[in-house]
């Protein structure tokens, strides 16, 4: 049953205010902190796209996937059948997310995720604290998430069969070092035209996520964000470049908690009537010199 988009992500930090500063000063997200010290970051009319919870360890927690109500109810049955359902959110947790209902589940590689329906919009217009910063979101979701997936084939099947994702591109890269295995990344689209909302990497990710992508409206938006990243002294872990499969021009940096963020522009939109999934053997048209931790 088809997921429509990536609605939100949850991150856990010992000090969530680090992400409030990052959101407001570097990325251009609008942010607020509540009485419990949780940070909400907005990119558009959604009440938040990033929720940073306080916890004893810095790490990525979960992606939150949106469905329609009928699809949601049907998917719950499938998740139960596959022994993937972990818990159902209570009223207070649903209110925190501004959703009608949600559940927590787990994919075959052990990544927890949330599935929800019925999210309300914020009554306040989104205004970036950074002049001119604008994001490509709305029905396309907040961007994309790349997850570690040691059970690569089973996890790819899971997202296709249970959550209705479609394959966009299967990328195989040569071994990064002699004696190392090839690297495989499967890119999947949800029920919107973004080339991929999810990708699955067959290797580890120390922070719990390989990276999160946020898409901006112009190359100037991206370049000015890179200036802000460098002015803050945050580590740039991939230079500017253009990806082969989704044509995104982007750079990557390390956010608090060691979470890699891709900031991009010009991502490919699919025509789902005519699109044929591809296989690639190179990740980039140009640029993207990678220096990821681990």
Which window, 35-43, 106-114, 224-232, 259-267, contacts Fe ion (CB under 5 A)? 259-267
Q: Could you tell me the two tokens for 33?
A: 């902190």
Interacting residue with Fe ion among 262, 265, 267, 288 (CB under 5 A): 262
- Give the residue from 213, 216, 217 showing the smallest Cα distance to 238: 213
Query: Least distance from C-beta 77 to Fe ion, angstroms?
Result: 32
Q: Of the two residues 84 and 213, which places its CB atom closer to Fe ion in the complex?
A: 213
Return the DSSP state at 227.
H
SS3 string of 31-52? EEECCCCCEEEECCCCCCCEEE
Q: How far is the CB of 146 from Fe ion (least distance, A)?
A: 6
Beta bridge mates, 106: 112
Judged by CB under 5 A, does residue 261 bind Fe ion? no
Q: Provide the phi-psi class of 101: left if phi over 0, else alpha when psi is between -120 and 50, else beta.
A: beta
- Which residues 52-111 are close enough to bind Fe ion by CB under 5 A? none
**Contact positions with Fe ion (CB under 5 A) in 190-229:** 213
Considering the complex, state which of residue 104 and residue 142 has its C-beta at the smaller distance from Fe ion.
142
Q: Scanning the structure block, which residue is given the tokens 């009554």?
A: 123
Q: Which is nearer to Fe ion, 262 or 266 (CB)?
A: 262
User: By rule CB under 5 A, what count of residues binds Fe ion?
Assistant: 2
Closest residue to Fe ion: CB criterion: 213
* Nearer CB in complex with Fe ion: 13/146: 146
Which tokens hold the place of 150?
Answer: 């040691």
Residue 19 to residue 137: CA distance in whole angstroms: 20
- Which CB atom, from 171 or from 213, has the smaller least distance to Fe ion? 213
Six-digit token pair at 15?
């000090």
Q: Please give the residue ranges that form the binding site for Fe ion (CB under 5 A).
A: 213, 262
């Amino acid at each position: 049953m088809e997921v429509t988009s990536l609605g939100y992500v949850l991150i856990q930090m010992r000090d969530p205010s680090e992400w409030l500063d990052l959101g407001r000063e570097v990325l251009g997200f609008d942010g607020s902190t509540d009485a419990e010290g949780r940070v909400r970051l907005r990119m558009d009319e959604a009440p938040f796209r990033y929720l940073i919870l306080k916890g004893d360890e810095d790490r990525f927690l979960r992606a939150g996937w949106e469905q329609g109500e009928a699809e949601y109810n049907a998917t719950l049955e499938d998740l139960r059948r596959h022994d993937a359902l972990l818990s159902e959110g209570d009223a207070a947790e649903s209110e925190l997310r501004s959703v009608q209902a949600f559940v927590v589940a787990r994919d075959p590689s052990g990544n927890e995720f949330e599935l929800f329906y019925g999210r309300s919009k914020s009554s306040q217009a989104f205004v970036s604290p950074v002049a001119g910063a604008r994001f490509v979101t709305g029905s396309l979701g907040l961007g994309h998430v790349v997850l570690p997936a040691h059970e690569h084939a089973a996890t790819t099947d899971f997202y296709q069969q249970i959550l209705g994702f479609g394959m966009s591109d299967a990328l195989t890269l040569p071994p990064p070092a002699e004696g190392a295995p090839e690297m495989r990344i499967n890119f999947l689209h949800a029920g919107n035209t973004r080339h991929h909302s999810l990708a699955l990497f067959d290797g580890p990710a120390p922070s719990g996520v390989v990276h999160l992508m946020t898409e901006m409206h112009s190359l100037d938006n991206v370049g000015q964000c890179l200036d802000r990243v460098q002015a803050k002294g945050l580590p740039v872990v991939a230079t500017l470049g253009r990806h082969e499969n989704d044509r995104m021009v982007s750079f990557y940096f390390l956010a608090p908690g060691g979470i890699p963020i891709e900031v991009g522009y010009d991502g490919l939109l699919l025509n789902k009537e005519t699109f044929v999934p591809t296989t690639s053997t190179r990740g980039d048209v140009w640029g993207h010199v990678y220096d990821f931790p681990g």
